[in-house]
Chain A
Amino acid sequence: MNVGTAHSEVNPNTRVMNSRGIWLSYILGIGLLHVVLLSIPFFSVPVVWTLTNIIHNMSMYIFLHTVKGTPFETPDQGKARLLTHWEQMDYGVQFTSSRKFLTIMPIVLYFLTSFYTKYDRIHFVINTISLMSVLIPKLPQLHGVRIFGINKY
């Protein structure tokens, strides 16, 4: 039950996104969310797509860019305590395949949403703001940056 007893991997969080089957699970999760939203009777298709996009981006922002540290104690004396999951991935190496996957997914979702909302102006504004909120933290220049000290400790 201790981290690192069977592995010299100090922080398993760095490798979770590279594990077998997790990309597929991620896509299936988005699909499930979409189908659940579609089954609510009073939402039209454009609203459902915008909602899918917003909920997906909000969850991604919370779990990847807000929650810091690890849910278990690591043997490296807390080097990753102030790092979000995105910053912990692959020990901070940029442009790995998991990072590319997680950057491309919101963009693909954005394309699909724009198509299904027929490029309506209000939907466009909402979706673009949502996309920016989830793409900007992923830039390598913003690695470890906390704007206005939000979420620093």
Chain B
Amino acid sequence: MERPERAAAALAVQPRANGCSGAGHGALRNGYVRGLSPPDTQINHIVHNGGLYKRPFNEAFEETPMLVAVLTYVGYGVLTLFGYLRDFMRQWKIEKCQNATEREEQKDFVPLYQDFENFYNRNLYMRIRDSWNRPICSVPGAKVDMMERVSHDYNWTFTYTGRVIKDIINMGSYNYLGFAQKAGTCQEAAAKVLSQYGAGVCSTRQEMGNLDKHEELEKLVARFLGVESAMAYGMGFATNSMNIPALVGKGCLILSDELNHASLVLGARLSGATIRIFKHNNMQSLEKLLKDAIVYGQPRTRRPWKKILILVEGIYSMEGSIVRLPEVIALKKKYKSYLYLDEAHSIGALGPSGRGVVEYFGLSPEDVDVMMGTFTKSFGAAGGYIGGKKELIDYLRTYSHSAVYATSLSPPVVEQIITSMKCIMGEDGTTVGKARVQQLAENTRYFRRRLKEMGFIIYGNEDSPVVPLMLYMPAKIGAFGREMLKRNIGVVVVGFPATPIIESRARFCLSAAHTKEMLDTALKEINEVGDLLQLKYSRHRLVPLLDRPFDETTYEETED
């Protein structure tokens, strides 16, 4: 750990976020809150791990205040007791049961529905269901229109009033660079290709579905990432779940991060390899697993593993944290394993020219064996890609399940990706792309700083455009979603069991399309709602990253 004075001096010569010259909002550095405590007692978060990091890596996950945790459990306890009461009333026909049940004649058969597994759905989710699945009726750009719906039976059924709520500030779409537009160069190019090629492809890549547009796209993606070759697929989820089984199989080892996305987990399970999970972004945990794998080999036979594949993501969308890529690559080289990097949220959103997390850390793309990403988030299209060495991609063209069985990308979508990627790279002759990347970085810094100053607990890295705001209590999840909609701001809230039981949150996704006025409006409303719901839990005590102990008190399901 370096001392604050040296760190501050080192900081003065560090490049600004994403290489852009920020307007200097007086941004906070390293979690320092000015005027709060003298410098020598401040906790220093700069990680200068033997020179691996060229810029400060600020990540913070403030600990839940104990009172809040206790009250959250009280909340869930009360909801559970009332749930049992309501179930009792429904069973004895005091209350009308609106869930799917079997007919009276079938009651003696083996039950069709597991009613306990549906307990949470009936009694907790149904109460706040109106915060999800909201129908939108315009392009999800910086502002979006939503169909208004009301429920007269406590969210069991919805009816549309017919009114459309216009111009809701959209803080939930993964529209990082603002390419979700209905007018502009991308849209015109896509419309032209639509009239030229039609909408459907009607075949898989290996049969008749390989268009010249696909070849053009793949060459462009390879150039964008700085790799030898790339391949594009129709669906981002399917890219992960169908290609990991093509890369690893039985007798291989997968080391996957705790908070990996469901597509990576599904792909890992489908492959048949042994899966070991390391603590989120914790390099000591990963190194221990690697050492054990190399020393002890496979479980019973002690033979060496055929392959060791490390699965990480660029930005984790639920936590807002960025992977410690320099350390992962150093470990990968030391223990001779392979790295699969899923840049779904970080491609286009990080790095001085939007090339992703590899550029953000200043590393070489050749160090990452398999670079995967999606076109859904920053490019405003659909689909995924995998980039890497030419032999790898040629192998995947033959052996990937997506290539053989899944329909290829639709031509207008391909054109949207090509146009937006050229825009980001600057090859369309304008500086629009670069301006967007810089705008996103500025928006990120500004938004996070303002939220921290207001006193909310925000998770994740300073540079990540995904901002989780902690809510904790189950009632606040529904209240926050509804209050923000009343104030014309659309947010995504998420609670247990998708997150750990005390860590429910609201997740903001920033976009380059958000202007400062929009962000200011949103911040003003969040401030009001925060005061109304008492969400300002932060005590400005950030958990120092290096002090979090690594211990072995979590027990994972081992597959043997």
Which residues from chain A sit less than 8 Å from chain B, CB to CB?
1-10, 12, 14-16, 18-22, 24-25, 28-29, 67-73, 75, 78, 81, 90-91, 93, 96-97
18 CB < 8 A contacts A-B = A1-B125, A1-B132, A2-B262, A4-B262, A6-B317, A6-B499, A7-B258, A7-B259, A14-B555, A21-B502, A22-B69, A25-B70, A68-B116, A69-B116, A69-B117, A71-B117, A72-B117, A97-B553
Report the bound CA distance from A63 to B118 in whole Å. Answer: 17
Q: What residue of chain A has the Cβ atom nearest to residue B68's Cβ?
A: A21
The answer to whether B9 has its CB under 8 Å from any CB of chain A is no
B259 touches A8 (CB 8 A): yes
Residue in A7, A12, A14, A28 with the greatest tally of chain B CB atoms within 10 Å = A7
Across-interface contacts of A68 in B (CB, < 8 A): 116
Classify the interface of chain A: helix, strand, loop or mixed. loop
Cβ-closest 8 pairs across A and B = A21-B69, A6-B318, A71-B119, A25-B73, A72-B120, A93-B555, A71-B120, A3-B497
Contacts A1-B494, A72-B120, A91-B556 supplied; 20 other A-B pairs, CB < 8 Å: A1-B132, A2-B498, A4-B498, A7-B259, A7-B498, A8-B257, A8-B259, A18-B553, A19-B501, A20-B66, A20-B69, A21-B70, A28-B70, A29-B77, A67-B116, A69-B116, A71-B120, A73-B118, A93-B555, A97-B553
Residues of chain B in range 51-66 having any CB-CB distance to chain A below 8 Å: 63-64, 66
Q: What residue of chain A has the Cβ atom nearest to residue B316's Cβ?
A: A6
B498 touches A8 (CB 8 A): no
Q: What residue of chain B has the Cβ atom nearest to residue A14's Cβ?
A: B555
Report the bound CA distance from A15 to B503 in whole Å. Answer: 13
Q: What residue of chain A has the Cβ atom nearest to residue B275's Cβ?
A: A8
Classify the interface of chain B: helix, strand, loop or mixed. loop
Across-interface contacts of A91 in B (CB, < 8 A): 555-557
Q: What residue of chain B has the Cβ atom nearest to residue A96's Cβ?
A: B555
Report the bound CA distance from A75 to B261 in whole Å. Answer: 13
| Chain B contact patch, size range | 35 or more
B117 touches A25 (CB 8 A): no
Q: What residue of chain B has the Cβ atom nearest to residue A63's Cβ?
A: B80
Q: Mark B403-434, 1 if CB is under 8 A from A, else 0.
A: 00000000000000000000000000000000
Across-interface contacts of B117 in A (CB, < 8 A): 69-73, 78, 81
Distance (whole angstroms) from the CB of A2 to the closest CB of chain B? 6
Residues of chain B in range 491-511 having any CB-CB distance to chain A below 8 Å: 494-502
Distance (whole angstroms) from the CB of A137 to the closest CB of chain B? 19
Q: Mark B225-265, 1 if CB is under 8 A from A, else 0.
A: 00000000000000000000000000000001111111001
Distance (whole angstroms) from the CB of B86 to the closest CB of chain A? 13
Q: What residue of chain B has the Cβ atom nearest to residue A11's Cβ?
A: B557
- Of A10, A21, A90, the residue contacting B73 (CB under 8 A) is A21
- Of A1, A5, A21, the residue contacting B64 (CB under 8 A) is A21
B556 touches A12 (CB 8 A): no
**Beyond A10-B557, A12-B496, A28-B70, is A71–B64 a contact (Cβ under 8 Å)?**
no
A21 touches B66 (CB 8 A): yes
Across-interface contacts of B116 in A (CB, < 8 A): 67-71
Across-interface contacts of B257 in A (CB, < 8 A): 8
Report the bound CA distance from A28 to B318 in whole Å. Answer: 31
Q: What residue of chain A has the Cβ atom nearest to residue B494's Cβ?
A: A6
Distance (whole angstroms) from the CB of A61 to the closest CB of chain B? 16
- Of A3, A8, A69, A73, the residue contacting B258 (CB under 8 A) is A8
**Beyond A15-B554, A21-B502, A96-B555, is A8–B265 a contact (Cβ under 8 Å)?**
yes
B501 touches A12 (CB 8 A): yes
Distance (whole angstroms) from the CB of B137 to the closest CB of chain A? 23
Report the bound CA distance from A68 to B119 in whole Å. Answer: 12
Q: Mark B90-123, 1 if CB is under 8 A from A, else 0.
A: 0000000000000000000000001011111100
Across-interface contacts of B121 in A (CB, < 8 A): 72
Distance (whole angstroms) from the CB of B249 to the closest CB of chain A? 20
- Of B120, B277, B500, B556, the residue contacting A19 (CB under 8 A) is B500
Across-interface contacts of B72 in A (CB, < 8 A): 21
The answer to whether B74 has its CB under 8 Å from any CB of chain A is yes
Distance (whole angstroms) from the CB of A128 to the closest CB of chain B? 29
A20 touches B556 (CB 8 A): no
Distance (whole angstroms) from the CB of A24 to the closest CB of chain B? 6
- Of A25, A67, A72, the residue contacting B497 (CB under 8 A) is A72
A8 touches B260 (CB 8 A): yes
Across-interface contacts of B259 in A (CB, < 8 A): 6-8
Distance (whole angstroms) from the CB of B319 to the closest CB of chain A? 8
Report the bound CA distance from A78 to B116 in whole Å. Answer: 12
B73 touches A22 (CB 8 A): yes
Report the bound CA distance from A90 to B114 in whole Å. Answer: 24
Residue in A2, A4, A5 with the greatest tally of chain B CB atoms within 10 Å = A5
Report the bound CA distance from A21 to B117 in whole Å. Answer: 26
Residue in A4, A67, A97 with the greatest tally of chain B CB atoms within 10 Å = A4
Across-interface contacts of B74 in A (CB, < 8 A): 25
Q: What residue of chain A has the Cβ atom nearest to residue B256's Cβ?
A: A8
